[in-house]
Amino acid sequence: MEKFKVLIVYPNLSMMLTPSCAVGIFTKILKNKGYIVELFDCTPYDSNLEFLSEPLPVTRAKTLMNSRSFDSSALFGEAKKNLKSDFLEKINYFKPNAVIFSTVVEDTKPQLEELLDVIKHFPKISHIVGGVYTIMAPEQAINYKHIQCIGIGEGEIVIQEFCEAVHSGVHRPTNIKGTWVRTDDGAIIKNPNSPLVDINKYLPDYSLFDDRRFLRPLGAKIWKAVSLETYRGCPYTCTFCNSPAKTVIAKESGQGSFLRRKNLDVLEGEIENMITDYNCEFLYINDDAFMARPRKENLAMAEMLKNFSLPFWFQTRFEDVTTETLEAFKEAGCYRISFGLEHGNEIYRREILLRNISNKKILEKSRIVADVGIPYTINVIIGMPYETRELIFETVELIRAIDSWDALSVNTFVPYHRTVLRKMAIKEGWLDPEKQTTSVIAESILEMPEPYLNSKEILGLVKTLPLYSRLPVNRYSEIKQAEIEDSQDGPIFSKLKEEWYELAYGSNEEDRNLTYQG
């Protein structure tokens, strides 16, 4: 009897780097079941660039002064063109018994639809679509008529039960908790959610990913980086983020607390495997707010990480910074940090974003980071509901006051499903709920009236905010001209960008290029 074959498909924005934890975990689970498992990774494809109307994310970062210069094609290879035909070829070659689509957010829906246009010609192959997209927008996801089944919760248990059922001869399992199923006559069966998993039991296997997918430009170097999840969920309630919705779903479903942390001994074993199996040089910790844990847990985490002498990155919030914990993480190998600032107006931040920290406190915490000596990035979102140009320049003023940052990550607001700000925008009539959600690297889909920002203004400010935040104030009129240039590489913007790079990285071109750590 032939072995049971499972194909994992990973729709992802083109060249969004670092292998997916979820795909790694699913690979491990399915291999342990004795199945033959292969991966179709959509990351190298440019199929959704027209939808994004932007360059590849890795090249766009250079345009918007989010990184040093590097040759992305030399590092990752040229973007692939033929997603649908390559996927068809993969199915015909591998002949899977089951296909698992692991989605990120709804940004990838156009790419997912291309893949489903292929899988619909193979009705005898059982498939399930899961991930953040189907959890947050299940009604929209199941609406695609060729989808057989979607996951509405965590996938670790669901994929096991789904594949076991298919392996036993059930073509379209209809009674698995954590799934919605479309029957042959078009009816939708909505099963209750599955229990939350013990995240200590499931460690990832990244062996199916291309080696180049581990390369991560960060700081001044290119590293062989592996993702690490130390906890799942987030204790904060930011209104632009869909993480709080997971907490709400878990509570409404009677699942308990969505926030769970891995045990230190489990993390230690996972890191040891990363070094042994993938020659890991760098830990890319992808928690929502890494330092949002009790003091003793932070210090214990730092002590454990110090044993490996590996550099690492994480994102967190200024609220959680203390000199003691930051010094401990620096000693453990912290290479750099990303801090979510998002907005510079205290009232807007408190009342609209539900982030209750004063500008004074942010400045105090940023001075601690500077004194400890860890380089850091500030994250900013532009184009949220009710934002005006005046409010944006309060963000600029705060960024200029912080001063000790060395990189800015400026992104367009995206009204993700089940976020408070999405509901707010729909209520105001600024967002068509049926409109395809785009990406943080694309033009805003909000249609706000004056005095609020329109999509063209948002795009111009995303492009020029680093200039406003670093160049002298007497250059603002010139920056405004660059802001309204149609081209991303117009002459005024190009000239100012060169000045910005000299301020940030010096005039020596060699010093401004990323270098490969390994």
Is 206 domain-assigned? no
For residue 71, the model assigns a pLDDT of 55
Q: Are residues 185 and 136 in the same domain?
A: yes
For residue 291, the model assigns a pLDDT of 98
Which tens digits make up the pLDDT trace of 222-257?
A: 889 999 999 999 999 999 999 999 999 999 989 999
- Mean pLDDT over residues 467-475, rounded? 96
Alpha carbons within 13 angstroms on the beta-carbon side of residue 10 total 29
Is 104 domain-assigned? yes
Residue 281 pLDDT class (50, 70, 90 cuts): very high
Q: Are residues 175 and 276 in the same domain?
A: no
Where on the phi/psi map is residue 388: left (φ > 0), alpha (ψ -120 to 50), or beta?
beta
Q: Could you tell me the CATH number of the domain that includes residue 436?
A: 3.20.20.70
| Nearby residues of 184 by Cβ (< 8 Å), 6 or more positions away | 172
Q: Are residues 439 and 360 in the same domain?
A: yes
Q: Are residues 173 and 258 in the same domain?
A: no
Last residue of a domain, one of 443, 470, 497: 470
Is 360 domain-assigned? yes
- Total domains in the chain come to 2
Q: Are 392 and 467 in contact (CB under 8 A)?
A: no
Last residue of a domain, one of 169, 190, 211: 190
For residue 218, the model assigns a pLDDT of 76
For residue 496, the model assigns a pLDDT of 94
Residue 74 pLDDT class (50, 70, 90 cuts): low
Q: Are residues 443 and 331 in the same domain?
A: yes
Is 509 domain-assigned? no
- The more confidently predicted of residues 441 and 324 is 324
pTM here is 0.90
Q: Are residues 186 and 232 in the same domain?
A: no
Which tokens go with 267?
């993390």
Q: Are residues 345 and 420 in the same domain?
A: yes
Highest-confidence segment of 49-58, 104-113, 245-254, 341-350: 341-350
Q: Are residues 124 and 250 in the same domain?
A: no
Which tokens go with 281?
């040089």
Is 54 domain-assigned? yes
Mutual angle of helices 83-94 and 109-119, in 10-degree steps: 40
Q: How far apart are CA 44 and CA 76, in angstroms?
A: 8
For residue 49, the model assigns a pLDDT of 45
Q: Are residues 146 and 241 in the same domain?
A: no
Is 110 domain-assigned? yes
Which tens digits make up the pLDDT trace of 310-367?
A: 999 999 999 999 999 999 999 999 999 999 999 999 999 999 999 999 999 999 999 9
Q: Are residues 159 and 226 in the same domain?
A: no
Identify the weakest region by mean pLDDT among 7-16, 190-199, 335-344: 7-16
Q: Are residues 244 and 171 in the same domain?
A: no
Q: Are residues 223 and 163 in the same domain?
A: no
Q: Give the structural domain span for 372.
A: 219-470
Is 86 domain-assigned? yes
Last residue of a domain, one of 190, 211, 232: 190
Q: Could you tell me the CATH number of the domain that includes residue 92?
A: 3.40.50.280
Is 511 domain-assigned? no
